């Protein structure tokens, strides 16, 4: 699971509170939005990590940015600011998403490729992952990493299959160095 112990604790608390209020699915959408916003905005991440900017200013900015979110999410932001942990917001969101998926029995397959995958390939990968895991609830996360050159790396839980060109080149290099 992504995130520090602190982020996981906050995520568990938010999930428990959301479950009690029967809003876990709605807060899941909020956390996806928070995660996506923080991933897309380097400036916002810089603001959250800045010791120069007052926490009250960070809270005000975040509450304006996420004004359409539920009270649970707004309360999380306020609590993180009060506890001087606002820089962990992204990790809390990622941890919540992971915990929620786990609670719902959804498997997350992470596919690392050099280029974005097409919808056809995504469908093929999803069907293969469903076959391998025996689970009908699978979501696919595509990570772009140009360093793998080509091919793909598929990770589902603790299982990993590395069919990247970089891995094959590394294997060839090791074989050549052994025979010298």
For 35-62, the pLDDT digits (tens) are: 999 999 999 999 999 999 999 999 999 9
The more confidently predicted of residues 66 and 134 is: 66
Q: What class has domain 5-102?
A: mainly alpha
Alpha helices in the chain (DSSP H): 5-20, 24-40, 42-49, 55-65, 71-82, 89-104, 119-133, 165-179
Tokens of 152: 């793909």
For residue 3, the model assigns a pLDDT of: 59
pLDDT for 81-135, tens place per residue? 999 999 999 999 999 999 999 899 888 889 999 999 999 988 888 888 888 778 7
Tokens of 153: 């790396």
Count of CB atoms situated within 10 Å of the CB of 104: 11
Each domain of the chain, given as residue ranges in start order, spans 5-102, 105-179
> What is the C-alpha separation between 174 and 176, in angstroms, rounded?
5
Q: Report the chain's mean pLDDT, rounded to a whole number.
A: 91
Q: How much is the pTM? A: 0.75
Determine whether 88 is exposed, middle or buried from the number of CB atoms within 10 Å of its CB (0-12, 13-18, 19+). buried
Closest alpha carbon to 72 in 21, 5, 37, 38: 21
């Amino acid at each position: 699971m992504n995130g520090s112990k602190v982020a996981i604790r906050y995520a568990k608390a938010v999930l428990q509170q959301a479950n009690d209020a029967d809003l876990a699915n709605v807060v899941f959408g909020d956390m996806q939005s928070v995660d996506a916003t923080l991933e897309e905005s380097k400036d916002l991440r810089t603001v959250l990590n800045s010791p120069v900017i007052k926490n009250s200013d960070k809270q005000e900015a975040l509450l304006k940015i996420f004004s359409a979110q539920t009270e649970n999410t707004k309360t999380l932001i306020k609590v993180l600011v009060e506890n001087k942990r606002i820089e962990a917001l992204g990790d809390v969101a990622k941890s919540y998403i992971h915990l929620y998926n786990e609670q719902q029995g959804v498997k997350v397959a992470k596919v690392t490729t050099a280029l974005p995958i097409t919808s056809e390939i995504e469908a093929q990968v999803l069907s293969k992952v469903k076959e391998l895991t025996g689970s009908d609830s699978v979501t696919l996360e595509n990570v772009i990493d140009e360093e793998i050159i080509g091919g793909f790396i598929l990770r589902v839980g603790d299982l990993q299959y590395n069919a990247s060109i970089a891995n094959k080149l590394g294997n060839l290099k090791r074989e050549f160095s052994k025979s010298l």
